[in-house]
Structure 1
Amino acid sequence: MTGAAPMRIALFTEVFLPKVDGVVTRITRTLDELGELGHTALVFAPGDPPAHYGPHRVVRVRSVSFQPWYPEIMVGLPTARIAREMQAFHPDLVHAVNPVWLAAYGVISARRRNLPLLASFHTDVPSYTTRLGNGLSVLRAPSQAWITGMHNLAEVNLCTSTQMVDRAREVGIREVDLWPKAVDTQGYRPDRADAVMRDRLTDGHPEAPLILYVGRLSREKDLDQLLEPIRALAPEGVRMAFVGSGPGRAELERMFAGTPTVFTGYLGGAELAAAYASADVFAFPSTTETLGLVALESMASGVPVVGADAGGIPFVIDDGRTGYLVTPGDTATLTARLRAVLTDADLRARLGTAARADAERHSWRAATESLVESYELAVQRHEGRRPVPRPLRARSHRAHRGG
């Protein structure tokens, strides 16, 4: 099906470059592959995105910071420019990534223009409202109802793990399927390990066993669950490094003060690949992941993951073969699993080799070809649902308004 005619895709997203996270990585790598497959996207994004990403044009949408809860998140606002850009682009289909604010307007825009619609579910926003605190928990029920309603206007809904497919169905989202996982096995691989990076991550103790975390530093990532393990393991010479930043960084730095822990801030490109490959084990206690791309990147780097048995993480980790799954909140078992990987070189090598082999099965090209097939399915379903056109004389000649 992916050999069909090129498509023009209007993609609305709540997050995009220069922000870096798993959703942005999924979008950018998909855009790379869509371009190589001959398709063209017009990206609507909040914040301060680049004007182009490869062959695809990016429309900067007026936005405001999600203060005070998550200042890094920019909330996109509907404007007349969106309607003008949509009219000029003539998309074949709209793809709404996490329809909450801006992407929800993309859903509305698709319906106003009678266009096929695919929506993808990447972030469990209702769960985040509870985890972020500061009064947001009252929004859990209405946000879930809003998100379910937005998704149910789409011909196809995609989730990035089988666990999230089940979760979407539980909350009433229909027409749900899987968008296969993928990882860059060329950029992330074991031979990216680097002595200088190892020295940096261990604060000058490269011989020490090293636990790594990569990602946002915020409350919903459950990173406080790593405090007890590093306190227990520090007397054994173990060190820890957090790569990334976010609204919880200052609080975490205070929490981990006095432990052998390094905070590097954001890393990207070759530095990030070196950080992954230079660690001994990746710790991932988050219970709110819809997939956990960073876990896949660690596995591609030949570094086993010890993660929470929650959300989409079990879709990534094969317990006992490519890493370990731990019951959320069970810090004693989390500590024991981390200790086992760090102290048993044969176990670490076996898990790391299996993790790398598993990652090599999941390419961005295959995942994007699957996405294009879902685009084509959305078009087919839309054609089947499209109402019979009225006679020309009965149509209104007023200018079309809206986005």
Structure 2
Amino acid sequence: MASSTSHRDEFPSSLRDRRILLTTESLGPVNGVSRTTLSLVEYLRRNGVDLVVVAPHYPGCRHQAQDAADLRIPGYPLPYNPDLTVVYPFRLDRIYKQTFQPDLIYVASPASLGFQVLLQIRQLRNPPTVLLNFQTDLSAYSEIIFPAPLDKFAVWLLATVQGWLFRHPAVHTIFYPCSAVLDYLKSAGTPVDRTWRLGRGVDTSLFDPGRRDQAYRREIAPNEEIILICVCRLAPEKGFEFLAEATIRLVEQKLPFKLLIVGGNRNLAVENRIHRLFDAVRDHVVFTGFLTGPALARAYASGDIFLHCSITETFGLVVLEAMASGLPVIARDQGGPSDIVRPQETGYLVPSGDVDRFVARVRQISMDHQLRSTLATSARRYAEDTTWEKINNRVAWQMADAFEQRSAEESGTRSTEPVVASFILLFLETLRLILAVGLLYFMWLIAVVPLVIHGRQWVYNIPLLGKCIRLRPRSG
């Protein structure tokens, strides 16, 4: 057993001879999916994998010094978050012609790009093996963005489509980040025997308590106030109404604090409306905009307590980064953070709608230096056991296992087809692909176009985040 474990600590050599096509919904913008996928891309390429990366085009990609994507697919940017693009319908075989015929396809956080890939794979006689990583809970987003009764219909439709796509025999592994997502996948009819829990890693050399900067702290909190920090994209699903309400109550209770909010949104209308939620407590709040690299690490480490108010996170990478930076975490008890935060050891979880208890925990940790120090030490220790190298190695071995299983199956079922029969089957496959792409255009007409129109109305006309604070905890 020990030798087997040691063997799997090394990169599987069988992957170096394989062609892998990796598709991702996000590569470049500042978000958890993008950072997670980029880490895997760099890991696979560093170990000699023949890898091609396909991602949606987004407005900022041309400004990247080094773009990790080999092929960008055009699409329409979402009004409330221009960093995310809904991909136009495309033909998978044309992507193959621009890249290669893959031995394996890895689908990161399937949505507009991933769904199209999975749909077209179903039409192939001999599709490549597929591994997918379920990282974004689209149904939770739909509950927030769409008005009733469209929200319930969107949740049902997504679960139906996802379950149908994920059940195809070509899908070997479905990675999931937390128990809440597994419950959702089960309810959608996903084969449980193909699911495999995969967390996320953290760069413990970048995110480190040693990056605490006293000069920066004095700039943020000149009167030595407690520094509370929140790091996330400024977006409707991130729980800013909840955070604003908690901030107002902390001011009313005369806690000496500053709230550092790190993040932004390329849509300034959305960003400004979230800023206005804090108008009543403006003297206690500092917005930094987007930060990355050492600047982000300094912000984390210079804080005292990390506040996480989103209830749509399937993992919550920022929670792990904060813990690596030596911060205790107070989070709403829903989604990925529920599996990361260890209550009374690395921080506290509170019921997702209980602002009073959230405020009470902030006050408790703020006023008890010894408790804060103990939680911070435990948080850092927890993060040190989770590295990107370990996480990506697990993905690599699942890929290797998928290849081995596929090879065993093919060796036992090899057969020859007559030329005429092969031609007919190829014709039918081509016809099915054409019909599948036609279906994609139809779905764009009835689903994506209304989403874009509603998104524009939401940004400019609809009161901000009216549903967020009233959301009930979801079972899946």
When normalised by structure 1's length, the TM-score is 0.91
Contact 1:40–1:56 under 8 Å retained in 2:
no
When the two chains are superposed, the root-mean-square deviation of aligned CA atoms in Å is 2.5
1:156 maps onto 2:178 in alignment: no
**More displaced 10-residue stretch of structure 1: 360-369 or 107-116:** 107-116
- Distance (Å, rounded) in 1 between the aligned partners of 2:345 and 2:167: 37
What does 1:4-403 align with in structure 2 at a 5 Å threshold?
4-5=13-14, 6=16, 7-17=18-28, 19-48=29-58, 49=61, 57-67=69-79, 69-80=80-91, 83-87=93-97, 88-111=99-122, 112=124, 114-134=127-147, 137=151, 138-153=153-168, 154-174=171-191, 175-200=194-219, 202=220, 205=222, 207-234=224-251, 235-246=254-265, 248-259=270-281, 260-383=284-407, 388-393=414-419, 394-396=421-423
- Match of 1:157, SS? strand
Equivalent of 2:12 in 3, 6, 17: 3
- Match of 1:396, SS? helix
Contact 1:169–1:176 under 8 Å retained in 2:
no
Give ranges in structure 1 of 5+ residues lacking alignment: none
Contact 2:214–2:302 under 8 Å retained in 1:
yes
Contact 1:128–1:288 under 8 Å retained in 2:
yes
Shift in CA distance, 70/3, structure 1 to aligned 2, threshold 3 Å: closer
- Match of 1:89, SS? coil
Shift in CA distance, 213/74, structure 1 to aligned 2, threshold 3 Å: same
Give ranges in structure 2 of 5+ residues lacking alignment: 1-7, 438-476
Shift in CA distance, 54/368, structure 1 to aligned 2, threshold 3 Å: farther
The structure in which a higher percent of residues are helix is 2
Partner of 2:472: none
State the shift of 1:50 in Å.
6.1
CA deviations 1:181-218 (Å, max 9, x no partner) are: 31111110001112343345x3x526111111101222
State the shift of 1:392 in Å.
4.6
Shift in CA distance, 51/147, structure 1 to aligned 2, threshold 3 Å: farther
Q: Which has the higher Rg, Structure 1 or Structure 2?
A: 2
Q: Which amino acid aligns with 1:22?
A: G
When normalised by structure 2's length, the TM-score is 0.77
Shift in CA distance, 380/206, structure 1 to aligned 2, threshold 3 Å: farther
* Alignment: residue pair count: 398
CA deviations 1:12-55 (Å, max 9, x no partner) are: 111111x1101111101111222223223211111244699979
Shift in CA distance, 305/313, structure 1 to aligned 2, threshold 3 Å: same
Task: Percent identity, please.
Answer: 27
- Distance (Å, rounded) in 1 between the aligned partners of 2:370 and 2:145: 40
